Structure 1
Amino acid sequence: MQPFDPTAIAALSVPVLCIDTCSLLDIMRDPTRDGAQARDRLAAIDIVQRLEKLDLVCLVAEQVEIEFASHDADIQLEATNAIRKLRERVDQANRIHAAFLSAVNIDLTHLDGVVAPARQIITRWTNAAHRVPSSTAIFTNAMDRVNRNIAPARKGKDSVKDCVVVETYLTAVDALRAAGMPTTAVFLSSNTKEYLTDAKVLTPDLVRDFGRANMAYAPNMSAAKAFLGF
């Protein structure tokens, strides 16, 4: 990853995407799970190509980098296992079908190859991204959010990491705005339980904070791509 240089990034005058851990992991998650959409994987591919062309900038909080590293292998294994189970279930159903009707050859082995290229997209993504370091001030502000139960903090949940991510990006976008960046800023997180109300709108706390930074919220890659103007 590249270092975070607010002056240099602001001078590019391109949109800025701030990504949460869950949304990076989504690129290679189990493709059989509920809610998985091909359009979001296609949006991720398009976004990484634009990152490499400097059509936009992606910021990755230090906390996100740490969390991603701790989940990387497990998410790949989970996806691999889910694909294997899908193949086994289809094979089971197909054998039962053959007991009553003419046998049909079904080959799903091509699905085994989907995890590796998805992980390669993430490697390209992080290579093109800019790492935003944490700081004492960021941790202090994050703890204040937790203590005052300000979203994404929630009662009964350890929300420190989520709050560190949010405070990192608010601090970074503030620095970019101070450096003269006039362009769109978007925070992408599929962890909607922490950011949206039951009515599926951004919580009032985050409406205030994101509004101050002039930053939009996107719940998935397709929405992020639209907010970025692509």
Structure 2
Amino acid sequence: MYIEVDEVCAAITARPAPVLFLDTCTILDVLRAPCRETIAVEEISAALALIRLNGQPTPGVWLVTNETVHGEWTANLDTVKTELERESKKIERLRSRLVDAVDIVYGRTHEVGHRIEHLKLSEHLENLSRQLVSVSQKVKIVESHSVNAMNRVIRCLAPAGRGKQEAKDCQIYEAFLDVGRTLRTKGFAGSICFVTANSDDYGKPTEPKNPLGAELLAINARYVGSLSWALAVVEGRG
């Protein structure tokens, strides 16, 4: 299930296409999108598009993640799905009250339309999130990722910081850097992006002095904050 960095990079350089390294929150955001105002519903269509493009000829894309992300995604999937179902029921109760009020005001019964819970949205989006994980190349954790992650924690380098270790996030980011460096060493010239919505720990990608800037510049890579943005990069729009 988990693949060595060299093996992943060899496959990518044999069939070059833009590389997107997906963080945990990015994969789970397709489930959060319908009920969180901070997440665009376009994340869902972007996920569908990227899955279709994965492994295809030009434009094509390589979706990559790592063992740590897979573990975090597995541990949090049910909780995020439950949140969507809970919020959907809350919205349905509110909509029912509003329609009842309209019926009273106008003195007649109005059509309610589809009930969200009957459309099984959470199941469809869970499957979409699973697909993102399934089609991604999952990099194996190696000792250097863990050692470098601990060094980030000690030095308070993003995603770590004063008072927050974020050891797993550091391990994920070190895996990304390893993939990026290895690809460049092998002569890969395409786009390489780290995709995460976690701006609290990584800083905003549009900040002039983003804390990841120097490391990203060293491997000619980018940090983008959503699947929609990542898709735009793949399609040459971002």
Q: Distance in 2 between matches of 1:18 and 1:30?
A: 20
1:216 aligns with one of 215, 218, 222:
222
1:212 offset after TM fit, Å? 1.0
Q: 1:3 maps to what in 2?
A: 3
Report the TM-score, using the length of structure 2 for normalisation.
0.89
Give the stretch that moved more between structures: 22-31 or 62-71.
22-31
Task: Give runs of aligned pairs for residues 53-202 of structure 1, distance below 5 A.
Answer: 53=56, 55-102=60-107, 103-110=109-116, 112-196=119-203, 200-201=206-207
Q: Distance in 1 between matches of 2:104 and 2:162?
A: 54
Question: Does the CA contact (< 8 Å) of 2:195 and 2:224 recur in 1?
Answer: yes
Structure 2: gaps (5+ residues): none
Task: Report the residue type matching 2:66 in the other structure.
Answer: A
Question: Does the CA contact (< 8 Å) of 1:153 and 1:159 recur in 2?
Answer: yes
Q: Specify the SS of the correspondent of 2:194.
A: strand
Q: Distance in 2 between matches of 1:100 and 1:106?
A: 16
Matched positions, count: 229
Q: Specify the SS of the correspondent of 2:190.
A: coil
| CA gap 1:187/1:19 in 2 versus in 1, 3 angstroms | same
1:32 offset after TM fit, Å? 2.1
Question: Does the CA contact (< 8 Å) of 1:142 and 1:164 recur in 2?
Answer: yes
Question: Does the CA contact (< 8 Å) of 1:51 and 1:125 recur in 2?
Answer: no
1:200 offset after TM fit, Å? 4.9
Q: Distance in 2 between matches of 1:204 and 1:37?
A: 23
1:130 offset after TM fit, Å? 0.7
Percent identity of paired positions between Structure 1 and Structure 2: 22
4+ residue runs over 4 A deviation: none
Question: Does the CA contact (< 8 Å) of 2:34 and 2:84 recur in 1?
Answer: yes
Q: 2:52 maps to what in 1?
A: 49
| CA gap 1:2/1:132 in 2 versus in 1, 3 angstroms | closer
Q: Distance in 2 between matches of 1:94 and 1:41?
A: 29
Q: Distance in 2 between matches of 1:158 and 1:91?
A: 45
1:150 offset after TM fit, Å? 0.8
CA RMSD of aligned residues (A): 2.0
Give the stretch that moved more between structures: 167-176 or 54-63.
54-63
Q: Specify the SS of the correspondent of 1:58.
A: strand
Q: Distance in 1 between matches of 2:139 and 2:106?
A: 60
